[in-house]
Structures are given as C-alpha cells and as structure tokens.
Chains A and B, each alone.
Chain A
C-alpha cells in the first residue's frame, strides 16, 4: 500500500505536464514508463490525452475545465484519473478507475495497539501456529481434548 500510493502520485504528477502542454497529440507512454518502469506500454497510452484544447495557458480567467486522464496500465492494474483545472491551476484530482486490488485500497484500516497479555481462561478451543505431534502433547488444546470439556 505504501508503495502503490507514491507510484500512483508520481504517475499523476508525470501526466500533468502532458495534459497541459500536449493536449491533442501528446503521448503518455514515456511518462507512464518513467513512473512505473515495469509497466508495459499499453495501447491506451498512445491515445490523445485530452480532447480539450488549452488555448490560453496563461489565462487570467478562472474558467473550470474537467479533463479525463489516460487509462494508465501498470503492473497493479489500470489507473485513470480526472483532473479539474481552474484556470491553469489544478483544482482537484479524482480517481475514475483503480484496480480492484487489496494493495490499492485507499482506506487504510485502523489498527488498535495494545499490550501483550498472558492469561489462562475458560476456552473451548485454541488457535495457534500449526503444532507438531510433539508440541500437541504439551498444548492447551491437548488439555482441552483430554478433559473433555
């Protein structure tokens, strides 16, 4: 997870100049490969990046433009973002497509930290690392099985 997000951000960062400066004929192949060296060039990567034309890069009018990004094929799957420009500044970036893959989940589950405790308690069964036959004789599970209750 830690690795995927930086790679993805690099990909986005790498694509931004392409969107801005090569609106009709730009190819993202080089950019995508730079961001993800092991990604094979995809057919989608050579497609025109943006159907919109950026006629006035230094425009002072804060017009809003939403540009869908190229679908970038990486070893983790296909990513595609949508960038909203306000004037010539990026207002927001939104994910249009992300692989259904555990490592690309954005919500990192919250883990609670606690101190390790040792206790003896009434239990029906014990979960532990696979016990060997020798280990079993000394295990809690063996005691439970022998006691019958």
Chain B
C-alpha cells in the first residue's frame, strides 16, 4: 500500500519577528492507507497544527505535503474545500455540531455542500446515523445529546461523504471513559472498512486501538512505533500502571511522564538536530529526531 499522506520537512511558524513561534519543526511523516495512527504529546506540542495541516485547514510555512500522490500545499482554496468535503472527515474535541440544525441536518450538511438533493441527502444521513447507532435521535438538536452521542453524530457527519481519511483531534478529550470507549470502538470499526484514521489523544490506554503511535514534542516527532491492535503501545505501557488515569490532568501528567519514557526524547539536544535516519524496510517509519527540550 502506498502512502496516502506524505509530509516532507514541514514547518509551521506563527507570528512575526520576535513573537514567532515554531509550531511544527521540519516534520517528515508518511502515513499509509489503512493506518490507524494515534498522535500523542503534551499540550502545545503541535499535534493540532499537524492535524490541521494534514486536513487542509491550514498551510505549511515550509516543506511539501503530498496527499494521495498529489502536491497539496499550493492548492487554491476552492480546491482545498472540495478535498476537505470529499476525502477528509473531521472529528473535533468539542464536536462542533451546528446548534441550530437538527442531528440529521448536521450529518447531511457535507452532502448539501456537495449539491445532493434534500431527499437523497436525508436518506444517506439516516443510513450514516444508523451506522453509528444514533438513528433514533435524528430530529434532536445537538444540545439535547450527551457528549458521547454528540461525538457519534459528529463521526456520522465526518463519514457521510465516505472520506478516505478521518482526522480526529482529541475525539475523546471531552468524554468519560464509557463514552470514550463507544467513540473509539466506532472509529475502530470504520478503520476495519479501510479508512485511514489519525487521532490525537492524551490517554495512553487508547493506543490499544491504534496500529501506530506517533509521539510529538515541541513541534517535532520524537518517537514513532508500530503497535498491534489491542495492545497498549510499549512506550505508553511504561507509564500506564504507575499513574491513575481518571481526569484530564492525570492524562496530561501521564503524558509528561510518558515523554520521559520515550527512548530518545530525553537525550540532550544536539547542535545540528536535523540528522535523519534512513528508512529501513520492515522497521518503523520513524524519522528519529532529537528534541530541543532539556530535561
């Protein structure tokens, strides 16, 4: 299977002059079709920026981005909108359902932007709601749903155009563990149908759904490992049982502990931190990078 997402030395800068912040620091990342990638890292490490770049919501400052074999960094806004509509599905931490529309209208919205007639789009939206188990609540408004239900509706909306890629930025960040499991199992099922899924999480437990875990720190990828479905990633496991994971703060605490556990993250920074290791067949696709953080 070929790479569906290829990032080559992608950087993202915000602000001007003295206030410039480096959100992404020369990220190189290949994601194959059908991968289920968990992206982990402390807050502010650039996970969301990476997701937004991959989802064509944002543009890289430097570097190249190839999506489905086509260069994506110089596309016109209309073309980007079309790709977002047809090949990318977004799931957000705060669901981002439109409060004035009913559940079914929310799900049908991407179809409306595609120009599909009302009857057809309601039918497709209903099918999608059935698939996520929300078909009994099609005429509710989002504010009358629980968090888990709202996220399921948001997933239905992301899926309705049969996108190749699902990007979920902390889909469980705002949910309790039962709802988290519901949402992750849903994503897992979608993954089985062949979709490529990227999700951001703070919860090491959730890496058991992923086929690959990418750790980020200060805008760079510091560790990248393949993992078997059903197993917690080896790095994540090290902190798994030492910290109780009940609240988001625990999650965050867990992450910072996790970063210490990451094999190469704790190494002192090198003067030229741009050395790349060659990609080896059969091994992980990690481009190991030293982090600039001091321990």
Do they bind each other?
no
